[in-house]
Each structure stands twice: as structure tokens, then as C-alpha cells.
Amino acid sequence: MNNIGQRIIFEDNHLILLNKLPGELSQGDKTNDATILDDVKLYLKQKYNKPGNVYLGVPHRLDRPSSGILVLAKTEKALVRMNDLFRDDNAVKKIYWAVVDRVPREPEGVVTHYLTRNPTKNKTTASIHERIQSKKASMRFAIIGASKSFFLLEIELITGRQHQIRAQLAAMGSHIKGDLKYGAARSNQGGGIHLHARSIAFVHPIKQELLTVTAAPPADPVWDYFASLVDQGTQSTWTMEPQQRK
């Protein structure tokens, strides 16, 4: 089960948030390969001695080659409410780390593009001009680390679109390490890319408290270097706090 139990960062009666590895499917696709859901369902079945089928909902997904926080719902009620949260661009704060080959022109800022999907190639193209059937996408970025060959970007999604970060960075001339589909010079061993869903924060759909979860990046020399450089990242954590009254 790829140590699923050890990679679960937060679990209660309603939600599971875990640290997905590069290469794992967050939901089924045309390959018919096993998904991380299969492993989590088996984990729940064994841990709680559950008879029959185990319910598990997927309110959002991560690209197969990326890593990081994946949110799963243990009840239908939690799934419906999490779906509503993810549809609201202001309800969920999502932070990503990306290791790129070229530094953006500015050290930080907000970028907006119009994204066009090509379902046949499973690829998204980002343009500064609106096109037919394109969708507006925005993200905030900042350079937070550098090595001899790469740069570490911290990215906050303002909108949530498929392949958004990968397409927008490619349009900016910054390619994620290992991401051949979006212009990287070479692949990573194992086929993963250096894009990591670093943290997520939202009001728990049942408990109505602010849940913040942070996931350590995968263990490899590049991630290890940047995690040590910014003096964080080696541990996965979570906090639950009452909402501040306005």
C-alpha cells in the first residue's frame, strides 16, 4: 500500500488528507492503473475492520506526475460540502512548490493567462489573450530559493484549472523540472515532476474550524536541498483553529 498509513497527515470521521507521491493516480483514467483510492480504501477497511465496500469521495485531484496534499472525503456529506468549497476560488488556500529551470522576469507577482485545453493531447496552452473556449487563470508566485541549476518557486493559486501551474509557468519561460510535456529539457527518474502541493487551508466542512495542512516534499536530492535551504519542509503538519470572528 506504499505506506499509506504513514502518509496520512490528517484524518477524522469526515476527511483524510494525505501526501501523494509522484506517479500515483488520484482518480481513475484511461490507463486503468490502480489509484491511490484503492490503497486508502484498503487501509480504512483494515484499520476499522469495515465489512463490504468503503466509501471514499474525491473532491479534487492532483496531476499524476506531481506530489503533495490530496483531500479525500469519508462521507457523502463531507464530499458535497468540499465540492462546494473547491468551486469557490476564495474558500480554499492552495500553496504549491515548483522547481524550475529558469527564473521568472520578476522575483514575485501575480500572473494571469487564458487557458485552452486540448483533451486529445491532455495538455493546456496558456495565452495572454482570451481565446474561444479559454478560461481565465491567475496565480501568485515568489522565488524563495535557488541552486546552481534550479529555482524554487512558491505559488498560490487564485483560480483552480487543470494543469494551470504547468501551463502558466511554461508560458512564462520557466519549466518545471522533469515536465517534458510542458517544455522541460529532460525527464525525472520514475516520470514524476518537481511540482508539489505544499499546503492547503480551508474551513472544515463539518466542524467549521480552520484546517491547515502542510506536506513535506518527496525525498530526493533536489527537494532535500531546497527544503533545507528554506529551513522547512522536512515534516508534514496540520493545525485546527477556531475561526476568527469578524
For the domain covering 4-242, report its CATH number: 3.30.2350.10
| pLDDT for res 170 | 97
Domains of the chain, residue spans: 4-242
Q: How confident is the model at residue 31 (pLDDT cuts 50, 70, 90)?
A: confident
128-133 average pLDDT score:
93
d(CA 121, CA 137): 20
141-154 average pLDDT score:
96
Whether the CB-CB separation of 4 and 40 falls below 8 Å is answered with yes
Task: Provide DSSP, 104-173.
Answer: -SSSEEEEEEEEEEETTTTEEEEESS--TT-EEEEEEEEEEEE-SS-EEEEEEESS--TTHHHHHHHHTT
Which range has the worst mean pLDDT, 31-45, 86-100, 103-117, 124-138? 31-45
pLDDT digits (tens, 9 = 90+) for 102-126: 999 899 999 999 999 999 999 999 9
Residue 180, burial from CB neighbour count under 10 angstroms (0-12, 13-18, 19+):
middle
Whether the CB-CB separation of 18 and 4 falls below 8 Å is answered with yes
d(CA 148, CA 138): 29
92 or 52, which is more confident: 92
| pLDDT for res 233 | 58
Which range has the worst mean pLDDT, 27-31, 147-151, 216-220? 27-31
| pLDDT for res 27 | 78
User: What does pLDDT average to over the chain?
Assistant: 93
Max CA distance (Å), the chain: 56
| For the chain, percent of residues with pLDDT exceeding 90 | 86
31 or 129, which is more confident: 129
| pLDDT for res 184 | 96
Provide the CA 97 distance to its chain's centre, in angstroms.
9
User: pLDDT at residue 32 above 80?
Assistant: no
User: pLDDT at residue 232 above 70?
Assistant: no
49-78 average pLDDT score:
94
Q: How confident is the model at residue 33 (pLDDT cuts 50, 70, 90)?
A: confident
d(CA 66, CA 36): 13
User: pLDDT at residue 245 above 90?
Assistant: no
d(CA 192, CA 181): 11
Whether the CB-CB separation of 190 and 65 falls below 8 Å is answered with no
The continuous run of DSSP H or E covering 246 comes out as none
d(CA 115, CA 134): 5
